[in-house]
Structure 1
Amino acid sequence: MGAWGPGHFDNDGALDFVDDLLDAPAANRVDLVQRLLARAVDAEGHLEIDPGSHVVVAAALIAAQCPGGEPVSDSRWPLEPLPAFPDDLRSLAVEALDRVLADGSELAELWSETASAEDWRREVLLLRRVLDQPMPGEVPLFEV
């Protein structure tokens, strides 16, 4: 799978997506993330490993801009400041992460065969939780 840890950026596919994002013109980066997430949500059948890894990275970048989100930094690549992601990408990212965690996800299947499976799943679920929180000033429809 080309992974060296359960972190969001600890695999070859994740770093490939970061390269694609940095190679894209700054004005196109939000659109690139939005299209990636939408493709994952709309995918029928099996979700392959690279799109799954890319979804996790995109979700981590969006979550970094949310209250409670972890800052994104890595000494292996210089991540330029990203434009502010619109709030509607948060719900799309949650849907895409649900697809990554579901049956039919090659990424989840491969992680399930490793000793770090629970660590990976916990990290993705924490990311999902940050994205699924109401924004300041929003009132949730239902308390959970």
Structure 2
Amino acid sequence: MGTWGPGIFENDYALDWIAELANSADNNPLIDALNTVIDQIDKSPETQDCAVAITAAEVVAAWMGEPSEDCPEEVETWVEGRPAPSATMIAQARYVTEIVLENSELKNLWKNSDEFDKWQEGVEDLLPRLAC
């Protein structure tokens, strides 16, 4: 994985997924990304799936009018003019964020780096922005 920083959008998985989302007219990429991690709840979800899922959670936050400071323009364009996300999607995005923070391969990778605290703060910042 090409990673250049601890931010949610600072890796190839996130940017590749955003490109896929930008070309989608529906919510299916979001639903798929969130469900992939939810389906792995009984084990430690895989790194790529977690990176994509927390990117999807960031999109949900942006869609709610709570984008991160580093939200890509493609995300802002995709959410513009759409009706608000469903309460279920918001709850799933929050749940996935909690899973990634608690027990995931992505967390374990960052735990072994000097930038773990920055990564963790960035993901934790997402939780209040996903409040219903």
TM over 0.5: yes
Q: How large is the RMSD of aligned CA atoms in angstroms?
A: 1.9
Q: CA deviation at 1:34?
A: 1.5
Q: How does 1:51-62 map to 2 (within 5 A)?
A: 51-62=49-60
Aligned residues: 126
Q: Does 1:128 align with 2:124?
A: no
- The C-alpha deviation readout for 1:44-102, integer Å capped at 9, x for no partner, is 3131111100011111111113354436235xxx4432334223211101111111112
Identity of aligned residues (%): 26
CA–CA distance in 2 between the matches of 1:81 and 1:18? 10
Greater displacement, 58-67 / 78-87: 78-87
Q: Does 1:94 align with 2:94?
A: yes
Displacement over 4 Å in runs of 4+: none
Q: CA deviation at 1:35?
A: 2.4
Cross-structure match for 2:22 = 22
CA–CA distance in 1 between the matches of 2:30 and 2:65? 20
Cross-structure match for 1:142 = none
Are residues 90 and 118 of structure 1, via their aligned partners in 2, closer, same or farther at CA, if it must alter by over 3 Å? same
Match for 2:64 among 52, 66, 73? 66
Match for 1:49 among 40, 47, 53? 47
Q: CA deviation at 1:19?
A: 2.0
Preserved contact between residue 50 and residue 100 of structure 2 (Cα < 8 Å): yes
Q: CA deviation at 1:106?
A: 1.0
Match for 1:36 among 29, 33, 36? 33
The aligned amino acid for 1:117 is F
Structure 2 residues without counterparts, runs of 5 or longer: none
TM-score by length of 2: 0.83
Structure showing greater Rg: 1
CA–CA distance in 1 between the matches of 2:18 and 2:5? 17
Structure 1 residues without counterparts, runs of 5 or longer: 135-144
**Would you tell me which structure has more helix in proportion to its own residues?**
2
Q: CA deviation at 1:5?
A: 1.0
